[in-house]
Amino acid sequence: MFSDELARLSWDDTTAAIAAKTADDVERALRRPKPTVDDFMALISPAAEPYLEIMARLSRRYTEERFGRTVSLFIPLYLTNSCTNSCVYCGFHVANKMPRTILTPAEMEREYAAIKELGPFENLLLVTGENPAKAGVPYLAKALDLAKPHFSNLKIEVMPLATEEYAELRRHGMNGVICFQETYHRDNYKSYHPRGMKSNFEWRVNGFDRMGQAGVHSIGMGVLIGLEKEWRTDLTMMAYHLRYLQHHYWRTKYSVNFPRMCPAENGGFQPNCLMTDRELAQLTFAMRIFDHDVDISYSTRELPAFRDHMATLGVTTMSAGSRTEPGGYACYPEALEQFEVSDPRSVDEVVNALKTMGVEPVWKDWDSVFDKHLSDGR
Amino acid sequence: MSDLIIGGRTFRSRLFLGTGKFRSNREMAAAIAASGTEMVTVAMKRIETTNASDDMLVHVQRDGLQLLPNTSGVRDAEEAVFAAQLSREAFGTNFLKLEIHPDPRYLLPDSTETLRATEELVKLGFVVLPYCAADPTLCKRLAEAGAAAVMPLGAPIGTNLGLRTRDFLQIIIEQATVPVVVDAGIGAPSHAAEAMEMGADACLVNTAIAVAGQPAAMAAAFKQAVEAGRQAFEAVLPVQAANLRAEASSPLTAFLD
């Protein structure tokens, strides 16, 4: 389990090592055909800032070699904002007095149909808060069953599940799981997630092993940038985690996300660090140079012009037309959003912008026929 | 240099020797001594397994030398399992180099049968080292099946062509969860050094030593090459030069300004 590996890594030593990186370290990392985590540390360090243009060129080259000039499009659907957790930074915090919605099967159908009106989406991400009693595995299975006729690739972003539960959802057509660790800082994790199921660090961080053991085909990872002041250290831990998972669960493909918080997002919680566009670009290029094959995903948290350019330089998956409130496409368009969308463009506008940048938007890159005949663990 | 552990046994030498093709068993024994090897393969088909004073066996049964009986000659998994059981009886070891090459011309391994036989032999308690194609996915499957190491080929057996499968060996080494022993095709000490510099855990050499002008002297040369290559790998090779110059015209990152 990754928690054992993580226990051997020192947060403070890693932070110091990143701060000590020099231009020589960066150049060595840029030249290495297969960069190590240590190289990744050099590439995200301040020492690499003067190399941003070279990094952009390398990142673009590796991305084009592996993915071509394409970006895969997906759309998220929030099934519920009901949540028993108390993440201090989240608008769906259990103590927030707000109307809670759990979409009924009939409402799901309406949402799926409304999404299909927005564009020929085939990649659907189903999102929930953590409420296992009312929106647990049977509920998700139902949502997958109903989505399956309309979408060829179904992913979920929900609370960490048990191995058998992931296997069960695979049998209902689930192809991938996205789960953000939020932070790899074990002690601080507790203060951001003081109560509820999510307060258990080990259960969350080892959830990725359980996904791998259940044979989940696609696993998405992420650190919530804004929680830890030393975001470079957090991302380095994620890089170790990625390598660990690739080594152990080699049949699975991986994606990474870099969600960054904005100041005063959802009122209360103030981020402990603010990442600039330049830093996010550097991080994205560094990840691509570190791993030529990993899928790099941007959400509509980012601004239109930034997304459009990054789609040519390393980003390979994007959401478009997103609503981050449950039932936001058809049933409850006025409900409270989880985060504020910074790219409010219509799907057509995003598609046209990508084409103008010389990038082909890809709607379908999977077929549900591949999710049939599943044997557990493979 | 770090030690190599296979099947619970520690090896200080990362050079394994094949024992075929020598002009005489005495010459073979001299080459084994000069190489410093601690593991030698023996073809079951060459040994009179009922004769304890078989001349070849006498020369390879020495203290500190792990015998690695091989199944050369078998053509499918069933034959390999049968041969392995005979070999365990005869040599008193669970170590087994699994070789299944139904093709008598190039002696190329049958991947399907090799994987099937590995699964079976691991269940029977063998320490299985399969000779296999330089196929990264196959090596993953062999490791999952419980192989103690994988032995991908550098080039067809006996060709002395060197690491023709270089790019695939690199991927195998990068992904490995068990030791990687580069087997077959290594024709010169420089080939062995290259494999070790890439991060291979060991090399198996036979023809290049056995048919050299002076086998014992060549064995000594391979010993040094394997040690040098391993030492270089552990010391972390410097990255070779590449052009990092940014092109001046229309910077890609101007949108960030």
Q: What is the per-residue pLDDT across B74-108, written as a single tens digit (0 to 9) for each?
A: 999 999 999 999 889 888 899 999 999 988 778 89
CB contact under 8 A, B175 and A250: yes
CA–CA dist B165, B147 (Å, integer):
21
The total of other beta-carbon atoms located within 10 Å of residue A191's CB is 11
CA B75 to CA A191: how far, in whole Å?
A: 63
Owner of token pair 């080939």: B191
B253: contact with A, CB 8 A cutoff: yes
Residue of B177, B243, B255 to mutate, interface with A, max A Cβ within 10 Å: B255
Tell me what pLDDT residue A369 has. Answer: 73
**pLDDT at residue A72 is higher than 80:** yes
Q: Can you give the pLDDT at residue A374?
A: 55
Does B135 have pLDDT greater than 70?
A: yes
Shortest distance, CA B5 to any CA of chain A (angstroms)? 20
Is the CB of B240 less than 8 angstroms away from the CB of A31? yes
Nearest to A34 by CA among B246, B182, B237: B237
Residues A307, A322: Cα–Cα separation, whole Å: 14
Enclosing H/E stretch for A103: none
B177 and chain A in contact, CB less than 8 A: yes
Q: Please tell me if residue B248 touches chain A, with a CB cutoff of 8 Å.
A: no
**What fold, for B4-256?**
TIM Barrel (3.20.20)
- Contacts A306 to B, Cβ<8 Å: 255
Q: Are A331 and A107 in contact (CB under 8 A)?
A: yes
Is B253 within 8 Å of A306 when comparing Cβ atoms?
A: no
With CB atoms and an 8 Å threshold, state whether A250 touches B240: no
> How high is the pLDDT of residue B201?
97
**Residue contact A30–B247, C-beta within 8 A:** no
Of residues A373 and A124, which shows the higher confidence score? A124
Residues of A near B (Cβ–Cβ under 8 Å) read: 27-28, 30-32, 34, 51-54, 56-57, 60, 247, 250, 277-278, 281, 305-306, 309, 312-313
CA distance A24 to A313: 24
Check residue B248 and give its pLDDT: 62
Of the candidates A5, A71, A83, the residue with the CA atom closest to the CA atom of residue A309: A71
Q: Hey, what domains does chain A have and what are their CATH numbers?
A: 2-365 (3.20.20.70)
Q: Which of B5-9, B199-203, B234-238 has the lowest mean pLDDT?
A: B234-238
pLDDT tens string A218-231: 999 999 999 999 99
Q: Closest Cα of chain B to A79: distance in Å?
A: 36
Average pLDDT (A31-52) is 95
Q: Is A71 or B250 the better-scoring residue by pLDDT?
A: A71
Give yes or no for residue A340 having a pLDDT over 80: no
* A377 pLDDT more than 60: no
Kindly state the tokens that stand for B138: 């196959």
At A373 the pLDDT is 53
Mean pLDDT of all residues in A342-349: 92
Strands (E), chain A: 70-78, 123-127, 153-157, 174-178, 218-222, 253-257, 295-298, 317-319, 360-362
CB neighbour class for B25 (10 Å; exposed up to 12, middle 13-18, buried from 19): middle
Residue of A28, A61, A213, A309 to mutate when probing chain B, most B C-beta within 10 A: A309
Residue B242, chain A, CB below 8 Å: the answer is: yes
| Chain B partners within 8 Å of A30 (Cβ) | 242, 244
- pLDDT value at residue B242: 64
Determine the pLDDT at residue A378: 42
Contact between B17 and B40 (Cβ < 8 Å): yes
Distant-in-sequence contacts of A98-103, Cβ < 8 A, 24+ apart? A98/A336, A99/A335, A99/A336, A101/A326, A101/A327, A101/A332, A101/A335, A102/A131, A102/A134, A102/A135, A102/A139, A102/A326, A103/A79, A103/A143, A103/A326, A103/A327, A103/A331
- Which of A31, A53, A247 is the closest to B251 by Cβ? A53
Kindly report, residue by residue over A254-298, the tens digit of the pLDDT.
999 999 987 765 567 888 999 999 999 999 999 999 999 999 999
CA distance linking residue A2 with residue A371, whole number of Å? 27
* From B175, B177, B253, residue closest to A53, measured CB to CB: B253
Q: What is the pTM of this model?
A: 0.84
- Looking at residue B8, what is its pLDDT? 92
Residue-range domain boundaries for chain B: 4-256
Residue B125, pLDDT > 90, answer yes
Rounded distance between C-alpha atoms, residue A108 and residue B149, angstroms: 51
**Which band of pLDDT confidence, cut at 50, 70 and 90, is reported for residue B26?**
confident
| Mean local confidence (pLDDT), A75-95 | 88
Q: Look over chain A and give the mean of its residue pLDDT values, rounded to a whole number.
A: 92
Question: What is the reported pLDDT for A336?
Answer: 65
Q: What is the DSSP string of A115-183?
A: HHHHS---EEEEE--S-HHHHSHHHHHHHHHHHTTT-SEEEEE-S---HHHHHHHHHTTEEEEE---B-
Residue A376: its pLDDT value, please? 44
For A30, name the nearest residue in chain B, comparing CA atoms only: B244
pLDDT at site A211: 97
Residues 6+ apart with CB under 8 A from A48: A21, A26, A29, A42, A55, A282, A286
The predicted-structure confidence for B188-225, as pLDDT tens digits, reads as follows 999 999 999 999 999 999 999 988 889 999 999 999 99
pLDDT at B18 over 80: yes
pLDDT score for B24:
84
Question: pLDDT tens, A143-199?
Answer: 999 999 999 999 999 999 999 999 999 999 999 999 999 999 999 999 999 888 899
pLDDT band at B246 (very low <50, low <70, confident <90, very high): low
Q: Mean pLDDT over residues B238-256, rounded?
A: 74
Would you please indicate which residues of B are annotated as catalytic (active-site) residues?
Answer: 97
Cross-chain residue pair B175–A34, CB shorter than 8 Å: no
